[in-house]
Amino acid sequence: MATTCGGVAVIDFWANGFGMRIRIALEEKGVAYQYKEEDLNNPQRSRLVLEMNPVRKSVPILVHEGRPVCDSVAILEYIDEIWKDGFPLLLPKDPYERATARFWTHFIDNKFFPTQATFLKSKGEAKQEAEEELISELKQLEDVLGDKPYFGGEKFGFFDVAFIPFSSMFYGYESHGEFKLEEECPKISAWVKRCMERPSVSKILPDSVKMYELHKIWYGVE
């Protein structure tokens, strides 16, 4: 049987925005972990992934004391619950604010991320429509941010962790489209810069040019 080290391990691929969330969260908590790279360019999943996530055969996977936790949102909540006492909390204490953070994370995963894929893959009129939709969704998120330093308010929180990995594709949006994010969404742009000042974020987020070059291959961008 394939094994991970004792304690905490993260199985992921360097360019997986969903997995970046997990590493950022662990960095914020100050939890030591081992990182195991899974090459998603190889269609054959490793033995470790097949053992730890036999249902979906996907990453990210958090392995804690030998037990796997799958799905990035479930992992984030698990991390926040396990490392709670004496650690910074990601989810707000207020029930409404917790529900709001979960709602917008769901929006990223099920609306924004598919729009990104459509934008990168489409051509002609469909591409223009997808670009307009992408900008519209970014503006919605900017409205949620408002004048707060972070989506979590004064504190870097759950939704900040969930969304910031996708900023590594903002360069790709601008290169592929015909807009400047700082002009369309100045508050989002300022938020990204603010987040990048955090060691947990700057350490994990990959080079944006490298990210776009990979996604061009994945989505067949010419």
Query: What are the structure tokens assigned to 38, written together?
Result: 């899974």
**Residue 3 in this model has a pLDDT that exceeds 70:** no
CA separation for the pair 9, 98 (Å, rounded): 26
CA separation for the pair 8, 105 (Å, rounded): 24
pLDDT, residue 221, reads 83
Cis peptide before 60 (omega within 30 of 0): yes
pLDDT in tens, 146-200: 999 999 899 999 999 999 999 999 999 999 998 999 999 999 999 999 999 999 9
Domains of the chain: 8-82 (3.40.30.10), 95-219 (1.20.1050.10)
Counted residue by residue, the chain has a size of: 222
pLDDT in tens, 86-128: 999 999 999 999 999 999 999 999 999 999 999 999 999 999 9
pLDDT, residue 1, reads 31
Give the helix ranges, DSSP H, for 30-185.
47-52, 72-82, 95-107, 113-121, 124-145, 158-163, 170-176, 181-184
> Do the Cβ atoms of 207 and 170 come closer than 8 Å?
no
Query: What are the structure tokens assigned to 3, written together?
Result: 């094994």
Mean pLDDT across the chain: 95
pLDDT, residue 6, reads 53
Classify residue 206 by its DSSP letter. Answer: P
pLDDT in tens, 53-62: 999 999 999 9
pLDDT, residue 169, reads 97
Q: Which amino acid is at 147?
A: D
215: enclosing H helix or E strand? helix 208-219
Pick 43 or 114 by higher pLDDT: 114
Number of C-beta neighbours around residue 148 at 10 A: 13
> Do the Cβ atoms of 91 and 158 come closer than 8 Å?
yes
- Strand partners for 36: 11
Pick 162 or 3 by higher pLDDT: 162
> Do the Cβ atoms of 157 and 150 come closer than 8 Å?
yes
Name residues whose C-beta falls within 8 Å of residue 122's C-beta, 6 or more positions apart in sequence. Answer: 129, 130
Q: What are phi and psi of 14, to 5 degrees?
A: -55, -30
* CA dist 198 → 57, 151, 153, 160 (Å): 32, 15, 16, 12
What is the reported pTM?
Answer: 0.95
pLDDT, residue 4, reads 45
Q: Residue 220 — very low, low, confident or very high, per pLDDT cuts 50/70/90? A: confident
> Do the Cβ atoms of 45 and 38 come closer than 8 Å?
yes
Q: Which amino acid is at 179?
A: F
